[in-house]
Chains A and B, each alone.
Chain A
Amino acid sequence: GAVVSQHPSRVICKSGTSVKIECRSLDFQATTMFWYRQFPKQSLMLMATSNEGSKATYEQGVEKDKFLINHASLTLSTLTVTSAHPEDSSFYICSAAGDLPYTFGSGTRLTVV
């Protein structure tokens, strides 16, 4: 089956620094990738949608200058949280779609201290 690899699984960073999260589709071409944020005991909240080679489309209320998304190839998308603050601490999940329907990564637990 389809596999999406997301790294790192956990990251702790200092306030003010930037963190990059990678999402790779291992066995299929992902024309579209989605980035979600999930708070404890809540549903997934879509942050942005990216198509390979195009600029990402951000959901209302999501700061595009803070959450930089790059989808440079059909197998890799990255989310960079810039100038992270404690309120950015959350569980970030990517999802890829293309030849196969949505497949989710295993998530990244970001803690900003």
Chain B
Amino acid sequence: QQQVKQSPQSLIVQKGGISIINCAYENTAFDYFPWYQQFPGKGPALLIAIRPDVSEKKEGRFTISFNKSAKQFSLHIMDSQPGDSATYFCAASIGGGTSYGKLTFGQGTILTVHP
């Protein structure tokens, strides 16, 4: 019940295209859903996060879409650039308010953006 399933495992997109990564969860107690970007040899960096009281959040070229009834959320990267080539992880946790429970990570998606 703690799993977060992420797809696809890898994604190749042309420069300027839209990259879409999907995640599904089972535990309805999750209340914080972040996306992280990780470059080789570095720690994950927070891209954008959403709480279940909103269905969409946009920050620059990055958008999270959240479907509470389907228990799914996705990351959309608009106008993808070669510099976006990295591994992306979705995650979920309980207690995303004043206390932060442990994060459950998806399996990761390796994104390659061709110039």
Q: Are B105 and A101 in contact (CB under 8 A)?
A: no
Closest B residue to A107 using CB positions: B43
Docked complex: A23-55 residues within 8 A CB-CB of B: 32, 34, 41-44, 46, 49
- Give the interface segment out of B55-63, B65-73, B76-84, B96-104: B96-104
Query: How many residues of B sit at the interface, in one of the four size bands?
Result: 20 to 34
Chain A residues near B32 (CB, 8 Å)?
Answer: 101
Q: Are A106 and B34 in contact (CB under 8 A)?
A: no
Q: Are A34 and B102 in contact (CB under 8 A)?
A: yes
Chain B residues near A95 (CB, 8 Å)?
Answer: 43, 103
Q: Are A102 and B105 in contact (CB under 8 A)?
A: no
Name the residue among B43, B102, B106 with the largest chain A CB count within 10 angstroms: B43
Q: Which of B44, B100, B110 contacts A104 (CB 8 A)?
A: B44
Name the residue among B45, B93, B96, B105 with the largest chain A CB count within 10 angstroms: B105
Chain B residues near A101 (CB, 8 Å)?
Answer: 32, 34, 46, 49, 96, 100
Q: How distant is A92 from chain B, measured CB to nearest CB, in Å?
A: 10
CA distance A104 to B41 in the complex (A): 13
Q: Are B100 and A93 in contact (CB under 8 A)?
A: no
Residues of A whose CB lies within 8 Å of any CB of B are 4, 6, 32, 34, 41-44, 46, 49, 91, 93, 95, 97, 101-107, 109
Residues of B whose CB lies within 8 Å of any CB of A are 32, 34, 36, 41-46, 49, 89, 93, 96, 99-100, 102-103, 105-108, 110
